[in-house]
């Protein structure tokens, strides 16, 4: 089944014989309803002009670009490639309801599902699909055994009629989703044959232009562009890929050109696009098709949604009560501690500390629970974080109202950054270098100038500070990840280890170079303090030792 949607445009002078239009697109918005800092974490000062993105700015810029295109005689199609769920306390507190409210305000034409739309299972997805006004597409789901998903709003494809030309939008979603959520009897099919079958069906019904819109990651997007003969454009998500040509507007490093042009065996060229994540960029591509539906030319670039751009006042006003209510909710109790979670006098900068152990244990626990692997018991048995990222203690004994309880606001005070967390598959030699770097300036740490000391989980390391800088690690053993019974083994320099880190370290913060020569990267879609809060909630009362 598919849906015909009439896309109304204000102009009538465009000839039906050919079609030029503007494609706006987003992906992986991850509940960034408010503007963020440059790392897509929480922006500490919302009025500083140094924040990025957010739904209000995204919408304002989309409206402006649509009007600009209309003035040039171009209709606009606005697409989203999934993962609007998860990533900030907004989603944690309000779940699908807040996502549906603000997605509806964006006025997009078609959306795909992302894997995180399944984070709360089928019961957390069905009301969202019913509530959104934007059609949702996915061609590689077999919902025959899941009657709850047999909804008119969820179809394999949608057909938009733009100035008399039919444009088909076919959805897809990574089958890896089945490993990331409890999905009952939902079956995921391979993307390429599913898209190909739907494309052939639409072509047979006179659809001129076909767009694949989905959430399987940049490599799969390019494979779809290469292998599905009838597809003209691929709009993707999932890997948070930043594509760009020339000098980049901010800190992101491009993974490829925008668009990435894939050449099929026939010689047909298919552009592939993504727009990073977290509403920091709005994808922008002008496309020009001839009367036979052949793509003749294209031009565009992702638009950085910087702090000097206006925000939509309606969205800001709608968001206000959510912000106010969430502020009250930060007093909610996430769990309990039986001991002082100690960073007194910045203790974590100088030595192992129990709150550092708890934080890094939570990183490993999240990787183990949410990213299962067939090779061993976890994809990452090691977690690390820089001591400077731990900003406070949780000392409930000094507050008679707490009685050992831990409110969310305490957790957010300890880890205020809103950093993303990711798994890096790094060599033992890189890990050793990181440990050396963490104590290279230990003397300055004592005097309070630096805070590079690493807090760790799954590592036993002995330092000798009397040795010269760069040679202070005496022994290192690491917890094995691919063993049936976890044990500590000596670090092997040529072996690769899954290590969970905050993106501050992955991006080279504190001059750590841990991203060199990594063989694989897996980004969590939950910020650091929520990983920590969820761990405390699941394991209370906590009583970490050193």
Mark whether 119 and 144 lie in a shared domain. yes
Mark whether 283 and 316 lie in a shared domain. yes
Please state, rounded to an integer, the average pLDDT across all residues of the chain: 89
Q: CA 28 to CA 31: how far, in whole Å?
A: 9
Q: CA 104 to CA 125: how far, in whole Å?
A: 15
- Looking at 269, 287, 321, the residue that finishes a domain is 321
Mean pLDDT of 35-53: 78
Q: Considering the domain boundaries, does residue 127 fall inside one?
A: yes
Mark whether 339 and 315 lie in a shared domain. no
Q: What percent of the chain has pLDDT over 70?
A: 92
Q: Considering the domain boundaries, does residue 359 fall inside one?
A: yes
The CATH code of the domain that includes 522 is 3.90.780.10
Mean pLDDT of 523-536: 89
Q: pLDDT tens-digit profile of 92-128?
A: 778 899 999 999 999 999 999 998 899 788 999 999 9
pTM above 0.75, yes or no: no
Q: Considering the domain boundaries, does residue 73 fall inside one?
A: yes
Using CB atoms within 10 Å of the CB of residue 506, give its burial: 0 to 12 exposed, 13 to 18 middle, 19+ buried. buried
Q: Residue 8's pLDDT is what? A: 38
Q: Residue 450's pLDDT is what? A: 60
Q: pLDDT tens-digit profile of 318-367?
A: 999 999 888 877 778 899 999 989 887 668 989 999 999 999 999 999 99
Of 65, 138, 78, nearest to 104 by C-alpha is 78
Give the E-state strand segments of 228-362 in sequence order.
Answer: 233-235, 260-263, 269-273, 281-289, 295-300, 303-304, 333-336
Question: What six digits make up the tokens of 176?
Answer: 């890896």
Of 76, 70, 67, nearest to 13 by C-alpha is 70
Assess whether pLDDT exceeds 70 at residue 500. Answer: yes
Q: pLDDT tens-digit profile of 450-462?
A: 678 999 999 999 9
Q: What percent of the chain has pLDDT over 90?
A: 69
Mark whether 520 and 397 lie in a shared domain. yes
Q: Tell me how many domains the chain contains.
A: 2
Mark whether 317 and 392 lie in a shared domain. no
Assess whether pLDDT exceeds 50 at residue 9. Answer: no
Q: Residue 10's pLDDT is what? A: 34
Q: CA 242 to CA 527: how far, in whole Å?
A: 20
Q: CA 352 to CA 516: how far, in whole Å?
A: 26
Q: pLDDT tens-digit profile of 249-259?
A: 998 999 999 99
Q: pLDDT tens-digit profile of 362-413?
A: 999 999 999 888 889 999 999 999 998 887 778 765 443 457 888 887 887 7
The CATH code of the domain that includes 205 is 3.60.21.10
Q: Specify the length of the chain in residues.
A: 546
Range of the domain at 102: 2-12+22-321
Q: Considering the domain boundaries, does residue 124 fall inside one?
A: yes
- Looking at 295, 321, 347, the residue that finishes a domain is 321
């Amino acid at each position: 089944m598919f849906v015909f949607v009439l896309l109304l445009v204000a102009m009538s002078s465009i000839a039906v014989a050919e079609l030029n239009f503007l494609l706006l697109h987003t992906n992986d918005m991850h509940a960034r309803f408010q503007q963020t800092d440059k790392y897509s974490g929480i922006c500490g000062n919302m009025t500083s002009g140094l924040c990025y993105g957010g739904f209000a700015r995204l919408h304002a810029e989309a409206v402006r670009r649509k009007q600009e295109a209309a003035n040039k005689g171009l209709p606009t199609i606005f697409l989203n490639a999934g993962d609007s769920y998860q990533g900030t306390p907004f989603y944690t507190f309000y779940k699908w309801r807040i996502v549906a409210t603000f997605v509806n305000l964006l006025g997009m034409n078609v959306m795909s599902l992302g894997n995180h739309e399944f984070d709360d299972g089928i019961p957390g997805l069905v009301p969202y699909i019913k509530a959104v006004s934007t059609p949702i597409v996915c061609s590689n789901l077999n919902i025959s055994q899941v009657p709850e998903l047999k909804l008119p709003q969820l179809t394999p494809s949608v057909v938009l009629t733009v100035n008399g030309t039919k444009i088909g939008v076919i959805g897809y979603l990574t089958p890896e989703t089945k490993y990331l959520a409890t999905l009952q009897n939902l079956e995921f099919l391979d993307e390429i044959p599913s898209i190909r079958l739907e494309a052939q069906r639409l072509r047979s019904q006179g659809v001129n232009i076909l767009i694949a819109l989905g959430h399987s990651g940049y490599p799969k997007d390019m494979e779809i562009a290469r292998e599905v003969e009838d597809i003209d454009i691929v709009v993707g998500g999932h890997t948070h890929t930043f594509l760009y040509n020339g000098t980049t507007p901010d800190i992101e490093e491009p993974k490829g050109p925008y668009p990435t042009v894939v050449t099929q065996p026939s010689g047909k060229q298919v552009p592939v696009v993504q727009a990073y994540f977290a509403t920091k960029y709005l994808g922008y591509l002008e496309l020009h098709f001839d009367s036979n539906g052949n793509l003749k030319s294209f031009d565009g670039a992702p638009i950085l949604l910087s702090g000097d751009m206006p925000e939509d006042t309606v969205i800001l006003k709608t968001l206000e009560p959510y912000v106010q209510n969430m502020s009250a909710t930060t007093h909610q109790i996430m769990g309990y501690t039986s001991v002082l979670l100690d960073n007194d006098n910045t203790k974590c900068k100088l030595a192992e500390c129990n709150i550092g152990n708890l934080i890094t244990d939570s990183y490993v626990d999240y990787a183990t629970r949410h990213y299962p692997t067939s090779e061993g018991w976890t994809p990452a048995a090691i977690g690390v974080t820089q001591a400077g990222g731990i900003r406070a203690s949780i000392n409930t004994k000094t507050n008679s109202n707490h009685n050992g309880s831990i409110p969310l606001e305490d957790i957010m005070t300890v880890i205020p950054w809103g950093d993303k967390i990711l798994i890096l598959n790094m060599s033992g030699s890189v890990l050793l270098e990181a440990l050396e770097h963490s104590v290279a300036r230990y003397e300055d740490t004592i005097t309070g100038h630096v805070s590079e000391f690493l807090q760790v989980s799954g590592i036993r390391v002995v330092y000798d500070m009397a040795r010269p800088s760069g040679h202070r690690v005496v022994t290192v053993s690491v917890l094995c990840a691919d063993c049936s019974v976890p044990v500590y083994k000596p670090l092997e320099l040529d072996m690769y280890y899954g290590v969970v880190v905050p993106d501050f370290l992955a991006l080279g913060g504190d001059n750590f170079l841990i991203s060199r020569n990594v063989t694989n990267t897996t980004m969590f879609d939950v910020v650091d303090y929520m990983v920590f809060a969820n761990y405390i909630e699941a394991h209370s009362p906590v009583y970490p030792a050193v």
